[in-house]
Amino acid sequence: MIKKLCLNNSTYSLTIIVFVCTLFVSACDKKQAPVAAPVQPPKAATEQKPVQKQVSSAVQQSSPSANQFDFSSKKDPFKPFVAVKVEPKSTPEIKKQTLRNALPIHSFDVSQFKLIGIITGGRENQAMVTDPGGKGYVLKVGMLIGKNDGRIISINTNGVDILEQFKDDNGRVRKENIKLTLPRKQ
Protein backbone atom coordinates (compact mmCIF):
# COMPACT_ATOMS: atom_id res chain seq x y z
CA MET A 1 0.00 0.00 0.00
CA ILE A 2 2.82 2.38 0.76
CA LYS A 3 4.29 1.66 -2.63
CA LYS A 4 0.98 2.54 -4.28
CA LEU A 5 0.84 5.91 -2.43
CA CYS A 6 4.36 6.81 -3.53
CA LEU A 7 3.49 6.05 -7.09
CA ASN A 8 0.40 8.21 -6.90
CA ASN A 9 2.44 11.10 -5.41
CA SER A 10 5.05 10.91 -8.14
CA THR A 11 2.45 10.83 -10.89
CA TYR A 12 0.64 13.71 -9.24
CA SER A 13 3.78 15.85 -9.09
CA LEU A 14 4.70 14.88 -12.66
CA THR A 15 1.29 15.99 -13.84
CA ILE A 16 1.67 19.39 -12.17
CA ILE A 17 5.10 19.94 -13.72
CA VAL A 18 3.81 19.11 -17.21
CA PHE A 19 0.86 21.46 -16.74
CA VAL A 20 3.08 24.38 -15.66
CA CYS A 21 5.46 23.83 -18.59
CA THR A 22 2.54 23.81 -20.99
CA LEU A 23 1.38 27.16 -19.63
CA PHE A 24 4.81 28.71 -20.14
CA VAL A 25 5.12 27.42 -23.67
CA SER A 26 1.64 28.59 -24.62
CA ALA A 27 2.30 32.04 -23.16
CA CYS A 28 5.54 32.43 -25.11
CA ASP A 29 3.91 31.48 -28.40
CA LYS A 30 1.42 34.34 -28.32
CA LYS A 31 2.46 37.31 -30.36
CA GLN A 32 1.25 40.66 -29.11
CA ALA A 33 0.33 43.46 -31.42
CA PRO A 34 2.90 46.31 -31.32
CA VAL A 35 1.88 49.38 -29.31
CA ALA A 36 1.08 52.25 -31.61
CA ALA A 37 3.04 55.45 -31.04
CA PRO A 38 0.93 58.46 -30.13
CA VAL A 39 0.12 60.56 -33.14
CA GLN A 40 1.34 64.16 -32.84
CA PRO A 41 -0.20 66.89 -34.89
CA PRO A 42 2.20 68.66 -37.26
CA LYS A 43 3.70 71.86 -35.77
CA ALA A 44 3.69 75.15 -37.56
CA ALA A 45 7.13 76.60 -38.29
CA THR A 46 6.29 80.00 -36.71
CA GLU A 47 4.88 78.57 -33.48
CA GLN A 48 7.37 78.59 -30.56
CA LYS A 49 7.15 76.79 -27.27
CA PRO A 50 6.59 79.00 -24.24
CA VAL A 51 9.73 79.24 -22.14
CA GLN A 52 9.44 78.83 -18.39
CA LYS A 53 10.91 81.69 -16.39
CA GLN A 54 13.78 80.77 -14.12
CA VAL A 55 13.04 81.23 -10.48
CA SER A 56 15.96 82.25 -8.33
CA SER A 57 16.36 80.35 -5.10
CA ALA A 58 17.35 83.59 -3.38
CA VAL A 59 14.07 85.33 -4.18
CA GLN A 60 11.20 84.28 -1.99
CA GLN A 61 7.94 83.79 -3.79
CA SER A 62 4.81 85.50 -2.55
CA SER A 63 2.98 82.19 -1.99
CA PRO A 64 5.45 79.65 -0.64
CA SER A 65 4.56 76.09 -1.50
CA ALA A 66 5.02 73.07 0.70
CA ASN A 67 8.17 71.98 -1.19
CA GLN A 68 10.19 75.16 -0.54
CA PHE A 69 12.37 75.63 2.53
CA ASP A 70 13.91 78.69 4.14
CA PHE A 71 17.53 78.08 5.16
CA SER A 72 18.34 81.69 6.06
CA SER A 73 18.29 80.97 9.79
CA LYS A 74 20.43 77.83 9.50
CA LYS A 75 24.16 77.62 10.09
CA ASP A 76 26.38 77.42 7.00
CA PRO A 77 27.68 73.82 6.86
CA PHE A 78 30.70 74.84 4.76
CA LYS A 79 31.94 77.55 7.12
CA PRO A 80 35.11 76.42 8.93
CA PHE A 81 34.96 75.92 12.68
CA VAL A 82 38.19 77.82 13.30
CA ALA A 83 38.58 81.31 11.87
CA VAL A 84 42.12 82.41 11.10
CA LYS A 85 42.73 86.00 12.15
CA VAL A 86 44.79 88.01 9.71
CA GLU A 87 46.33 90.92 11.53
CA PRO A 88 47.20 93.98 9.48
CA LYS A 89 50.77 95.11 9.38
CA SER A 90 51.44 97.08 12.53
CA THR A 91 53.00 100.45 12.00
CA PRO A 92 54.58 102.50 14.77
CA GLU A 93 51.56 104.82 14.70
CA ILE A 94 49.14 101.93 15.27
CA LYS A 95 51.32 100.61 18.10
CA LYS A 96 51.32 104.02 19.78
CA GLN A 97 47.54 104.30 19.39
CA THR A 98 46.94 100.92 21.03
CA LEU A 99 49.39 101.76 23.81
CA ARG A 100 47.63 105.09 24.39
CA ASN A 101 44.24 103.40 24.57
CA ALA A 102 45.57 100.87 27.08
CA LEU A 103 46.65 103.54 29.62
CA PRO A 104 44.09 104.58 32.26
CA ILE A 105 44.90 108.28 31.76
CA HIS A 106 43.31 107.99 28.30
CA SER A 107 40.07 106.40 29.49
CA PHE A 108 38.56 109.54 31.06
CA ASP A 109 37.43 112.88 29.65
CA VAL A 110 39.82 115.80 30.35
CA SER A 111 37.15 117.67 32.33
CA GLN A 112 36.94 114.77 34.81
CA PHE A 113 40.54 115.23 36.00
CA LYS A 114 41.22 117.44 39.08
CA LEU A 115 44.39 119.48 39.31
CA ILE A 116 45.84 119.06 42.82
CA GLY A 117 49.31 120.59 42.49
CA ILE A 118 51.86 122.38 40.30
CA ILE A 119 55.65 122.06 40.62
CA THR A 120 57.69 125.00 39.27
CA GLY A 121 61.30 126.05 39.44
CA GLY A 122 63.01 123.03 37.84
CA ARG A 123 63.99 122.59 34.21
CA GLU A 124 60.35 122.25 33.29
CA ASN A 125 57.10 122.72 35.13
CA GLN A 126 55.08 119.68 36.17
CA ALA A 127 51.53 119.23 37.37
CA MET A 128 49.75 116.54 39.35
CA VAL A 129 46.17 115.51 38.54
CA THR A 130 43.82 112.81 39.84
CA ASP A 131 41.26 110.85 37.85
CA PRO A 132 37.69 110.24 39.11
CA GLY A 133 38.90 107.03 40.78
CA GLY A 134 41.48 108.94 42.86
CA LYS A 135 44.60 107.72 41.03
CA GLY A 136 47.26 110.41 40.58
CA TYR A 137 49.32 111.27 37.49
CA VAL A 138 52.27 113.61 36.96
CA LEU A 139 51.96 115.67 33.78
CA LYS A 140 54.63 117.34 31.65
CA VAL A 141 54.35 119.61 28.62
CA GLY A 142 53.75 117.60 25.44
CA MET A 143 52.03 114.62 27.11
CA LEU A 144 48.64 113.33 25.97
CA ILE A 145 45.67 113.13 28.32
CA GLY A 146 42.00 112.18 27.98
CA LYS A 147 39.85 110.25 25.50
CA ASN A 148 40.42 112.70 22.65
CA ASP A 149 44.22 112.75 23.10
CA GLY A 150 44.44 116.27 24.46
CA ARG A 151 48.01 117.59 24.28
CA ILE A 152 49.35 119.59 27.24
CA ILE A 153 50.47 122.95 25.84
CA SER A 154 51.69 124.74 28.96
CA ILE A 155 51.94 124.38 32.71
CA ASN A 156 52.17 127.60 34.75
CA THR A 157 51.19 128.83 38.22
CA ASN A 158 47.62 129.57 37.06
CA GLY A 159 46.94 126.02 35.80
CA VAL A 160 47.38 123.59 32.92
CA ASP A 161 46.41 124.43 29.31
CA ILE A 162 45.28 121.45 27.17
CA LEU A 163 44.50 121.46 23.42
CA GLU A 164 42.15 118.76 22.13
CA GLN A 165 41.85 118.06 18.41
CA PHE A 166 39.12 115.68 17.29
CA LYS A 167 36.74 115.07 14.41
CA ASP A 168 33.10 115.95 14.96
CA ASP A 169 30.08 114.16 13.45
CA ASN A 170 30.46 116.07 10.17
CA GLY A 171 34.08 114.95 9.76
CA ARG A 172 35.60 118.39 10.44
CA VAL A 173 38.60 118.70 12.77
CA ARG A 174 37.70 120.73 15.85
CA LYS A 175 40.13 122.28 18.29
CA GLU A 176 39.16 122.92 21.87
CA ASN A 177 41.27 124.64 24.55
CA ILE A 178 40.69 123.34 28.08
CA LYS A 179 42.19 124.90 31.20
CA LEU A 180 42.54 122.97 34.46
CA THR A 181 42.98 125.29 37.47
CA LEU A 182 43.82 124.67 41.08
CA PRO A 183 40.89 124.73 43.50
CA ARG A 184 40.57 127.99 45.49
CA LYS A 185 41.63 128.00 49.14
CA GLN A 186 38.92 129.00 51.57
Round to whole Å and give the CA distance between 82 and 27. 69
Q: What string of DSSP letters covers 78-145?
A: TS-SSPPP-PPPPPHHHHHHHHHHHSGGGSS-GGG-EEEEEE-SSSS-EEEEE-TTS-EEEE-TT-EE
**pLDDT, tens digit, 9 for 90 and up, residues 85-125:** 777 666 776 666 666 666 788 888 888 999 999 988 878 89
- Domain assignment of residue 116, given as a range: 101-181
pTM score, whole prediction:
0.46
pLDDT for residue 6 is more than 50: no
Round to whole Å and give the CA distance between 185 and 131. 21
User: Is 177 among the domain residues?
Assistant: yes
> Under DSSP, is residue 55 helix (H, G, I), strand (E, B) or coil?
coil
Round to whole Å and give the CA distance between 175 and 137. 24
Could you say which DSSP state residue 22 is in?
H
pLDDT-based confidence at residue 50 (cuts at 50, 70, 90): confident
State the CB neighbour count (10 A cutoff) for residue 139. 22
User: Is 74 among the domain residues?
Assistant: no
User: Is 35 among the domain residues?
Assistant: no
User: Is 166 among the domain residues?
Assistant: yes
**pLDDT, tens digit, 9 for 90 and up, residues 147-184:** 888 899 999 988 999 999 877 778 888 899 999 998 88
Could you say which DSSP state residue 66 is in?
T
> Residue 151 sits in a domain of what CATH number?
2.30.30.830
